[in-house]
Amino acid sequence: MMDGVSEEAGTKRRGRRPGGGDTRAALIDAARGVFAESGYDGATVRGIAQRAGVDAAMVNHWFGSKEGLFAEAVLQLPFTPHELVGELLDGDVDTLGERLVRRFLGIWDAAGGGTFAAIVRSVASHEQATHVLRDFFIRYVFSEVLRSTGSDQQLFRATLAASQMIGLGMVRYVAKFEPLASADVDTVVTAIAPNLQRYLTGKID
């Protein structure tokens, strides 16, 4: 019996080596499906690992946490939402809107708009994917940013800020309305940042 167990375990290790690139790819593929079906809160590390056919410990090994896996698998970001918020808050609060617009344009432009367009298309085709988009913008970025500013009506402000950035992404990368679609980053930042700053710290009523 022990020999049988050892042989089986050895076979599993040969089939999918812990720490191997195939494990990482399998987790990303599985995470995209689970996040789309269940949203961020409903997805579990165990469930994602089970779908990928790997040990749950591999999520921490490769991505550090569920948040890290979400950032890479769904948002295709080279950092976690927590790291993004820390970067955005590293500066004067009065230029927060400018940093936000510039950072998101940098992320999306670097991918040719594909990252944002893919998220929007998944929302259009799968209702649960809406939760993923909402969780990222409202809960894990704008709510966290606003918590540090001390602004009032933080949830309302977060949704206003999200509407600004999602709307910008829709027009620039999905609908591709000109001349906004091909405008340079500085031009877009100059036009959009003041309004986003008002949503975050200015008077809204």
Last residue of a domain, one of 45, 74, 103: 74
What pLDDT, on the 0 to 100 scale, is given for residue 1? 44
- Which CATH number characterizes residue 157's domain? 1.10.357.10
What pLDDT, on the 0 to 100 scale, is given for residue 17? 40
> What does the pLDDT look like over 66-107, one tens digit per residue?
877 877 776 666 667 778 888 889 999 999 999 999 988 988
Co-location of 33 and 97 in the same domain: no
Co-location of 57 and 133 in the same domain: no
pTM > 0.85: no
DSSP code of 64?
Answer: S
Co-location of 39 and 58 in the same domain: yes
Token digits for 189?
Answer: 């930042």
What pLDDT, on the 0 to 100 scale, is given for residue 142? 92
Range of the domain at 112: 79-205
For each of the chain's 205 residues, which pLDDT tens digit applies? 434 433 333 333 334 444 466 888 899 889 888 876 776 778 899 999 999 999 999 998 888 888 778 777 766 666 677 788 888 899 999 999 999 999 889 888 877 766 667 666 666 655 656 776 787 788 888 999 999 998 999 999 999 999 999 899 889 988 899 999 999 999 999 999 999 999 999 999 8
What pLDDT, on the 0 to 100 scale, is given for residue 174? 84
Helix (H) or strand (E) holding 195: helix 185-201
The Cα–Cα gap between 164 and 160 comes to 6
Last residue of a domain, one of 74, 104, 127: 74
The Cα–Cα gap between 146 and 165 comes to 15
What pLDDT, on the 0 to 100 scale, is given for residue 24? 87
Last residue of a domain, one of 74, 91, 111: 74
